[in-house]
Amino acid sequence: MTNRCTLQLTVLLCLTGAALSMNYGTLRFQQSSSNSACQKLLWQLITSPQHCLDDRMDFQIPREVEQPQQVRKEEAMVVMHEMLQQIFSIFRRGFSNAGWNETIVENLLEELDGQMDRLETALEEITKEGKFPWENRTVLRLKTYYLGIFQYLKGKSYSRCAWTVVQAEILRNFSFLNRLIGALQD
Ligand SMILES: *[C@@H]1O[C@H](CO)[C@@H](O)[C@H](O)[C@H]1NC(C)=O
Ligand SMILES: *[C@@H]1O[C@H](CO)[C@@H](O)[C@H](O)[C@H]1NC(C)=O
Ligand SMILES: *[C@@H]1O[C@H](CO)[C@@H](O)[C@H](O)[C@H]1NC(C)=O
């Protein structure tokens, strides 16, 4: 279903050709609204205030992606796509211990999916223009960062506190994503 939509969009873009170049203003607006929706949904997942101080963890973030204002939009899109994909797979894990409302998690996954779809369409355009920023070490480091989160969850047997810690970390990641979205300029 998703793939078919992406395909239709690609065909449409091909047919209209050069006349229709990427509209980054629209993309920025759509991504940023969806990002706010994600943040709202994540806040709703907080069931009750928990004291999980013992479970706190410092996930090491790649230094290169700490200053998104200096990132080119093509790179920003690759980094965002990787982050969204990783966040998507984190929330598809067994979160039964977290005591979360499944409807909210489903809505969150849907928003993430929509953002990834739009980025994929934009990245296809960029690839056609030959401007694709080929996977670099930043993406690899990001994978390591999220692997750390996966390992942490597993190590804590997906406990409620572990999920609380991860949820807070991801919530902060959405603020970071917001800044990356700002790099989507025409
Ligand atoms: C890799 O991408 C990041 C941003 O995502 C950028 O800051 C960095 O300069 C790129 N590195 C190389 C070697 O292209
Ligand atoms: C889950 O969230 C949805 C949407 O916010 C709400 O309608 C529903 O009542 C919630 N379910 C439970 C069991 O809290
Ligand atoms: C996730 O949030 C933490 C905490 O603010 C931050 O240090 C880190 O840079 C974020 N990671 C990503 C990939 O945005």
Gap from CA of 103 to ligand 2 centroid (Å): 6
The answer to whether the CB of 47 is under 6 A from ligand 2 is no
The answer to whether the CB of 75 is under 6 A from ligand 1 is yes
Minimum-distance ligand 3 atom for the alpha carbon of 175: 14
Which residue has the CA at smallest separation from atom 5 of ligand 2? 104
Query: Nearest ligand to the C-alpha of residue 183?
Result: 1
Specify the DSSP class assigned to residue 156. Answer: T
Mean pLDDT is lowest, of 8-22, 99-113, 138-152, for: 8-22
pLDDT tens digits for 70-126? 678 888 898 899 999 999 999 988 777 788 888 999 999 999 999 999 999 999 888
Q: Can you tell me the mean pLDDT for 163-173? A: 89
Minimum-distance ligand 3 atom for the alpha carbon of 146: 13
> Rounded to whole angstroms, what are the CA distances from 36 to 31, 42, 176?
9, 10, 12
Query: Nearest ligand to the C-alpha of residue 66?
Result: 3
Q: What is the pLDDT of residue 69?
A: 58
As a whole number, the mean pLDDT across the chain is 80
Gap from CA of 39 to ligand 2 centroid (Å): 17
Which pTM value belongs to this model? 0.77
Question: Percent of the chain, pLDDT > 70?
Answer: 73
> Rounded to whole angstroms, what are the CA distances from 87 to 15, 21, 100, 167?
34, 29, 16, 10
Structural domains of the chain sorted by starting position, each given as residue range(s) with its CATH number in brackets? 2-184 (1.20.1250.10)
Q: Which of 61, 78, 144, 174 to mutate to test the pocket of ligand 3 (most atoms within 8 A of CB)?
A: 61
Gap from CA of 185 to ligand 3 centroid (Å): 23
Amino acid making up residue 116: M
Distance, in Å, from the CA atom of 76 to the CA atom of 134, rounded to the nearest integer, reads 12
Distance, in Å, from the CA atom of 172 to the CA atom of 160, rounded to the nearest integer, reads 19
